Structure 1
Amino acid sequence: MGIKRKIKNYIHIKKYYPLSEKTIPHDDHKKTILIVDSQIPTFDKDSASNRITEIAKFLAKYYNVYLVDWRKAIPNVESKKYITNLNDHNVIVYTPFINKYGILKGKKYFINNLLPKIDFVWCHRPELFEYYLDFFRNNAPQAKIIYDMVDIHYLRMERGLEIKYDKVRAREVGKYKYIETELSKKADKIAVISDKEKEFMKAFVDESKLFTVSNVHNLKVSPEDMAPFEKREGIFFIGTFLHDPNVDAVEILHNQIMPLVWKVLPNLKITIIGSEAPESILRMNSEKFQVVGYVEDVIPFYKKCFASVSPLRFGAGVKGKIGQALEYTLPVVTTEIGAEGMFLENRVTALISGNNDYQNFADHIIEICSNKIIWETLHNNSEKAIYPFSIIAQKDEILKMLE
């Protein structure tokens, strides 16, 4: 790092830091886990971040838990609310600081200070596992390395290429396939997102290394506390557009599904929520197809809409957008891919269509917006649907992985 950059960082830290006032002491009587992520997890922007946030908060009840952002030497001021949220649950997050002698202490100091204390390194996402595997093997040989796959990226990419070929994605497939099927053998433990992924990974690694640690969702409200069918209006889609399946799903909604819905329900409005929307999606914005981008507080949509719709045609892993809808007892309309790994039952806990059956998907939207009986069935079965993703249901598997 050049001297100008060091000075700029020093001034920035003097001006904006600390990002959290809470001091969390290290407990020598507890084992220590270091979670390495590609960012300070933004629990309100993407499901993977929400998952690792909830896992970290849970682990901090039993362990010393530290979290470091792999990419940024200086976390943004915008990360303050995420750091504070983690600190409030006793998760220690890396932020640089200036000591009493006026010397800047950064990421190198943070990690080097932890190396002899670490019992587990939790590498969240494949890039992190690839980058840090040898470093921690050499510098913290006592630590067990956990590779948290999040989903099977190469499988999701291959499925996407079958639908829409992309040269950049085609080149990435080989990289992720190597990490996920070969390099993964070097991990001590592997966290997979669902039992379906566990079954898939048995072909590549020893089954004893595989543990299912899914998305973490808990019922946030009681069905009777939410607005009834008669007071609902509209539907919505939610998901970051940095994720290819979400871009494809919104294109399908706009071009194939909603025109069929509007033949029967001409005034039904759909809202598209999600950060990083490309220009092709932004151009779809209209009075009935509203593209609103990132929304900081999405809860009002769960309270007022008929359903969350997810016409996913490819992907892998479990779907955070579906779990979040269930947290607020909101009916879900999705596809077989969307329901994959989610323990959903058609017409009991969700309405599920074939991946490319646009007419059936449209019929399901029409039904959930006009049939009170099916709406109330899904609404009232949300707790049943979400239970497998609760911390209570997953506690034993997580703690077993850390033995």
Structure 2
Amino acid sequence: MKKKLLIIGHTWPEPQSTAAGTRMMQLIQLFQTAGYAVNFASAASRSDYCVRLSERGVMEHSINLNDSSFDHWVKEEKFDAVMYDRFMIEEQFGWRFRESCPNSINILDTEDLHFLRNAREVAFKNNEDVSAVHLNNSIAMREIASIYRCDLTLIISEYEMEFLQNQFRIPKELLFYVPFLLEPEMLQKLKATNFKNFKERTHFSTIGNFIHKPNYDAISHLKTDIWPLIRKKAPKAQLHIYGSYESPKISQFHNEKQGFYIKGRVPDANRVIQNSRVLLAPLRFGAGLKGKLFTAMETGTPYVGTSIANEGIFTKVKSNSYNTSALFAQQAVKLYTDQLQWVQQQEQGFKTLKSRFNIHLFQDSLISRILEISTHIEKHRLNNFMGKLLQQQAFNSTKYFSQWIEEKNKE
């Protein structure tokens, strides 16, 4: 009989709109390949762009916040495991699931460390280096508490794995590194001959969800500081900016005379990016892995990135990073005009994906770790006193507040 996994989503997956949606679909496929019957539930409304999971063998469920019907449902279904899509979901549903399925394994997928992204944003806006003052924020308290309450937390970046252990002393036994996961069949197609070459491509590009704050800042940074420098050296070049959820504050950047084009949502990111010669990613704050850089490497498109953009992709970030406007623009023009360097970076991208992000490097070890914890769940939890303490605190606050809201909703 198949093991049953419940995934509680922050949103319904939109792989064509967000990197988080892409990662969720990768994880779903991983668990299905491992023999799990996957159920996906969310309290969020569905957009026109979310994936029809039922067509991919996943049972779909709409659930409500602060509603005990969830408790009865999961108790009846007897799920072997639950995976929370970000710490906010664990806060809302974790206590309910644990009461209904006390012996089932609880997994948290952070997507990226939200508190780290927030700390970097605050430090950036204040023109300060990130310090303990920024890191010890209220989001950190909540997110790290969620990590302790869960039996295993999936971390998308090697940097964040080391950061959690070194900065916050979180036990390694509670963490598991799972980056973006690429199928071998796709990796085998990563050859220069399968893509347009240097001379067949033109213009610059970038892509990203426009409501994501790091992406909005990067576009603003491009428009004000970087693109004018690039245009001085490449006056006929254009920058094509793709992304979902365009708003007036994004649309206002569009200026054809300056070669600055806001293109908006596209159904296939790979198709448009593989036509451009260079992708630009001047991210100044953020966390996790950046989906736009994977899109670039998957389409044989060299890119220019900052240290924030490159974090977690390479073992050594600094040599590939350009953090000032002048250096960033200089490297962008060099890649745009130097065919030899362009070809070398394209090949580096292929090698990086093949050596570091093949799903086979992670799938068996993750499933084995989950099985090991499930088999020795009592011992695993006894060794995590902090988790038991924080679960108790959650029961004393979140549980009763949620029940109060449920009763109020009945009035």
Q: TM-score, normalised by structure 1?
A: 0.81
Q: 2: CA distance between counterparts of 1:340 and 1:171?
A: 19
Q: Secondary structure of 2:320's partner?
A: strand
Partner of 1:130: 91
Q: 1:174 to 1:70 in 2, by over 3 A?
A: farther
**Could you say what the CA RMSD is over the residues aligned between the two structures, in angstroms?**
2.7
Q: Deviations over 1:2-58 (max 9, x none)?
A: xxxxxxxxxxxxxxxxxxxxxxxxxxx121111111121001110011001111012
Gap runs ≥5 in structure 2: 128-132, 372-411
Aligned partner of 2:352 in structure 1 is 385
Matching residue within 110, 115, 119 for 1:149: 110
Give the partner amino acid of 1:206. Answer: P
Tell me if structure 2 keeps the 8 A contact 1:160–1:314.
Answer: yes
Within-5 A mapping of 1:266-281: 266-281=235-250
Q: Does 1:49 align with 2:1?
A: no
- Which residue, 301, 310, 313 being the options, matches 1:342? 313
Aligned to 2:332, the other structure's residue is in SS state: helix
Matched, 1:208 2:173: yes
The structure that is helix-richer by fraction is 2
Residues 1:352 and 1:381: Cα distance change in structure 2 (over 3 Å):
closer
* Other structure's SS at 1:309 match: strand
Q: Distance in 1 between matches of 2:337 and 2:71?
A: 56
Closer/same/farther in 2, CA of residues 88 and 57 from structure 1, 3 Å limit:
farther
The CA deviation at 1:303 is 2.4
Of structures 1 and 2, the one scoring higher in RCO (CA 8 A, sep 6+) is 2
2:205 corresponds to 1:236:
yes
SS of the residue 1:277 aligns to = coil
Secondary structure at 1:324's aligned position in 2? helix
CA contact (8 A) 2:119 2:134 kept: no
Answer yes or no: is the 8 Å Cα contact 2:119–2:135 preserved in 1.
no
For 1:93-242, what aligned pairs fall within 5 Å after superposition?
A: 93-94=60-61, 108=69, 112=73, 115-164=76-125, 174-202=137-165, 203-218=168-183, 219=187, 221-242=190-211
Q: Which amino acid counterpart does residue 179 of structure 2 have in structure 1?
A: S
**What is the count of residue pairs matched by the alignment?**
353
Which secondary structure does the structure 2 equivalent of 1:45 belong to? Answer: coil
Question: Cα–Cα, structure 1 residues 172 and 367, in superposed 2: closer, same or farther, change >3 Å?
Answer: closer
Q: Contact conserved, 1:240 with 1:275, CA < 8 A, in 2?
A: yes
Which deviates more, 252-261 or 212-221? 212-221
Q: Secondary structure at the match of 1:82?
A: coil
Structure 2: how far apart are the matches of 1:345 and 1:172? 23
Aligned to 2:263: 292
Residue 337 of structure 2 aligns to which amino acid in structure 1? Answer: S
| Closer, same or farther: CA 290–51 of 1 in aligned 2, 3 Å | same
TM-score under structure 2 length normalisation: 0.79
Q: Contact conserved, 2:226 with 2:329, CA < 8 A, in 1? A: yes
Which amino acid letter does the alignment assign opposite residue 382 of structure 1? Answer: G
Report if the CA contact (8 A) 1:57-1:90 is conserved. Answer: no
1:376 partner letter: V
* Runs (5+) with no aligned partner, structure 1: 1-28, 97-105
User: Residues 171 and 381 of structure 1: is their aligned pair in 2 closer, same or farther, counting only changes over 3 Å?
Assistant: closer
